[in-house]
Amino acid sequence: MRLIFLAPPGSGKGTQGARLMKEYNILQLSTGDILRENKKRGTKLGKEARYYMDAGELVPDEIITAMLKEEIIKPEYQTGFILDGFPRTKFQAKALEEILEEMNLKLDAAIILEVPKQELISRLSARRTCRKCGKTYHLIFNPPQEPDTCDAPCFGHLFQRADDTKETILNRLKVYERNTSPLIEYFEETGIAIHINGLGSVDEVYDRIKHSLAAINTHVEVKK
Ligand code: AMP
């Protein structure tokens, strides 16, 4: 199964992707996570990306596409993957198509998670992320058991991402509208777009995704 998410920041693509990963036994490839890791380690890529990330802007297409290509050809992605955060521009969508063509592969579905803007702002402003395992919490609707601490067995420290502040959130949503939302039409034309209502509990949204995926003709069986 090869999936992409076309979904604004805060729509739950990371959370839903993590569940799909278990269900289909495939890996999630998050360009945001890879960049954050590089930023933390202070690599050349991390230094290049830092300015864009902190401002809520997109890292230039050439940089991110080269990074994605290097990653996706690794053996662990050959049985399938869930792309979280890529593609975000038409350039990237075309590049992905070419990369997959070279590998003789095709995408099975583009999951479009639909969540109203106000809800996205609320979710992102109250989001806290575990520094150790990456799990996310919502301070009001899904708080950790202990303040600032990830639940057992991780117990990592929770922090607010540098780009989860009010001003940067608004910019990220604007960037999504401008650069990424036009891709919805692009993937509708290729016939693989699946529209999912992203409101409701994590379980409810996940069930919608699972049912939609079961309805498409794929070669991978859903684990019972
Ligand atoms: P995310 O965790 O997916 O919200 O990504 C965090 C940040 O990483 C984004 O706001 C961008 O600055 C950068 N980023 C991640 N994926 C991409 C991409 N496909 N194209 C450009 N920038 C990206």
For residue 167, which phi and psi values (nearest 5 degrees)?
-65, -45
**Per-residue confidence (pLDDT) for residue 95, from 0 to 100:** 96
Contacts of 199 (CB under 8 A, 6+ apart): 115, 116, 119, 205
Contact in structure between 205 and 197 (CB atoms under 8 Å): yes
Specify the residue with its C-alpha closest to ligand 1, atom 1. 32
Query: Counting atoms of ligand 1 from 1, which one is nearest the CA of 52?
Result: 12
**Per-residue confidence (pLDDT) for residue 37, from 0 to 100:** 92
Query: CB-hemisphere CA count at 13 Å for 2?
Result: 17
- Angle 158-172-183 from CA coordinates, rounded to 5°: 120
**Per-residue confidence (pLDDT) for residue 220, from 0 to 100:** 47
The pTM of this model reads 0.87
Q: How far is the CA of 149 from the centre of ligand 1 (A)?
A: 25
Query: Counting atoms of ligand 1 from 1, which one is nearest the CA of 84?
Result: 3
- Which of 51, 58, 94, 179 gets mutated to test ligand 1 (max ligand atoms within 8 A of its CB)? 58
Q: Can you tell me the distance from the alpha carbon of 41 to that of 23, in angstroms, rounded to the nearest whole number?
A: 31
- Known catalytic residue at 13: yes
Q: Which of 2, 39, 128, 172 is catalytic?
A: 172
Per-residue pLDDT of the chain (224 residues; tens, 9 = 90+): 999 999 999 999 988 999 999 999 999 999 999 999 999 999 999 999 999 999 999 999 999 999 999 999 999 999 999 999 999 999 999 999 999 999 999 999 999 999 999 999 999 999 999 999 988 999 988 899 999 999 999 999 999 988 898 899 999 999 999 999 999 999 999 999 999 999 999 999 999 999 999 987 554 444 43
Q: Can you tell me the distance from the alpha carbon of 50 to that of 42, in angstroms, rounded to the nearest whole number?
A: 9
Say whether 139 sits in a helix, a strand or coil.
coil
